[in-house]
Amino acid sequence: MIHRAIGLLIQPRSQWQSIAQFSEKQYTLALLYPAILGLIPVISWYYGTTQTGWSVGGEITRLTTDSAFNIAVLFFLTQLFAIWIIGYFIHWMSKTYGADSSAIKGMALAGFMATPILIAGVIGVSPNFGIDMLIGIVAVSYSVYLLYIGIPIVFDMPEERGFLYASAMVGVALVIVIAVMCGSVILWDMGFAPEFVD
């Protein structure tokens, strides 16, 4: 798994060509990839928000361990759900673009595409708004790049059609991000709001 993550960051085209040769069983096993890699941001942010803390105007702010744990569990489940929903839409839209897919294959591809975002989650160990935003933008940009080069390779289609397919998936991902933000507000209202250390 580590070699796959490093490969997607360093040699994405050759990794996508390797992924394109996967059997259905390998795609099924690949569903664990974002679950395992997704522990990086969850553990990092849990540690960063409870131990390191962050500063706004000079004073260090931290979350209580109970509050941070509840939020970390929801964070883990939400990121997995979001990745797999994007993957389901990769499958759902495949016929429109003449691609041969399955729900498992689409979900696995979405997990591989999220690699930079999940690895960049390590920045949560030391929360800093400016640095986190910069690294987050770079990670999201690289994930979109992986999407644009991966779709044509994995689905063996012309780059022009792959570009349209990937662009549609970017639109789907943006809708899911907005849905997650709305869901966060609802969950905060239901009692999962962060509790700060006095």
With 80 as the cut, is the pLDDT of residue 57 above it?
A: no
Higher pLDDT pick, 69 / 60:
69
Which pTM value belongs to this model?
A: 0.92
pLDDT at 59: 84
More confident residue, 85 or 98: 85
Non-local (6+) Cβ contacts of 80 within 8 A are 34, 35, 38
Residue 50 has pLDDT above 80, yes or no: yes
* Torsions phi, psi for 71 (to 5 deg): -65, -40
pLDDT in tens, 164-180: 999 999 999 999 999 99
Terminal-to-terminal C-alpha distance of the chain: 41
- Quickly state the pLDDT bin for 155 (edges 50, 70, 90): very high
